[in-house]
Structures are given as structure tokens and as C-alpha cells.
């Protein structure tokens, strides 16, 4: 059985820049500018990218038309060596999968208040 506590989890990143021609997501998971992730612009001017990240803390920023930008939605920031701040995305560890014996309620539906 695979250890689900270290499995990568898809994280969504968004940046509002309707006038921008390019928005890239860069961070420790892209080796910063070595392998930037090109974000895709939606019709509402919000740029979006999905990245599968392992559990832990990940530092990132946005490059908007070549200019380093903060994530205005991110509340966790740490100073960096360049006199600005890196944003921090915390990816929690997934709980271990339930044991097969826990499926005794087969056919009785989902527990109240739980979403699939």
C-alpha cells in the first residue's frame, strides 16, 4: 500500500492581471527562474496554474511581464535575500487511507456532513 502522507497534492495558483501579457509562477519547486510555470489567462483577467506539490512549505512568487510580484492573497510571507518577501504555500500531509474494515456500512450512504 502506498504511503499517502507524502503524495503530491494539486495546488491552484491565481493572479489577477488583466493587462498582463505573461504571468509565470516561480518558486523553490521550479528552481525559481530555471523552470518557470507559464500561467494561463482566463477571460476574466485572472491567470491560473495547477501544480502538484509534496507536503511541506513551498516558497514562490509571480513574474508578471518580467516583474517580480507578490501574491496579494497569500498571508504567509518570509523575507528573502533580495530585500523583498517570498510567499509561502503550506501543503498539508494527507491523512492515511481508511482501512478496508471501515467499509462495514456498505449500502448505507455517506455519513452526514461529509462531502465526497
Q: Is the pLDDT of residue 111 over 50?
A: no
Q: Compute the half-sphere exposure of residue 87: CA atoms within 13 Å on the CB side of its CA.
A: 21
For residue 103, name the pLDDT band (cuts at 50, 70, 90).
Answer: very low
Looking only at the bridges linking them, the beta strands covering 56-64 and 67-69 are antiparallel
The CATH number corresponding to 20-95 among 1.10.3720.10, 3.40.50.300, 3.40.50.1110, 2.60.40.10 equals 2.60.40.10
Query: Could you state, in order of their start, the residue ranges of all structural domains in the chain?
Result: 20-95
Q: Is the pTM of this model over 0.95?
A: no
| Separation CA 66–CA 72 (nearest Å) | 17
**Digit-coded pLDDT (tens) for 64-83:** 999 999 999 999 999 999 99
Do 74 and 86 contact (CB within 8 A), yes or no? no
**CB neighbour list of residue 89: distance below 8 Å, 6 or more residues apart:** 11, 13, 27, 53, 57, 58, 60, 74, 76
For residue 112, name the pLDDT band (cuts at 50, 70, 90).
Answer: very low
DSSP summary character for residue 116? -
**CB neighbour list of residue 17: distance below 8 Å, 6 or more residues apart:** 23, 45, 47, 64
Amino acid at each position: 500500500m502506498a504511503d499517502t502522507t507524502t503524495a503530491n497534492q494539486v495546488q491552484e495558483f491565481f493572479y489577477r492581471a488583466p493587462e498582463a501579457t505573461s504571468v509565470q509562477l516561480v518558486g523553490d519547486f521550479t528552481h525559481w527562474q530555471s523552470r518557470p510555470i507559464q500561467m494561463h489567462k482566463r477571460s476574466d483577467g485572472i491567470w491560473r496554474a495547477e501544480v502538484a506539490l509534496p507536503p511541506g512549505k513551498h516558497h514562490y512568487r509571480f513574474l508578471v511581464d518580467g516583474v517580480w510580484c507578490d501574491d496579494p492573497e497569500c498571508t504567509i510571507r518570509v523575507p528573502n535575500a533580495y530585500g523583498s518577501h517570498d510567499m509561502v504555500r503550506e501543503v498539508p500531509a494527507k491523512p492515511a487511507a481508511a482501512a478496508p474494515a471501515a467499509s462495514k456500512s456498505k449500502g448505507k450512504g455517506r455519513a452526514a456532513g461529509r462531502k465526497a
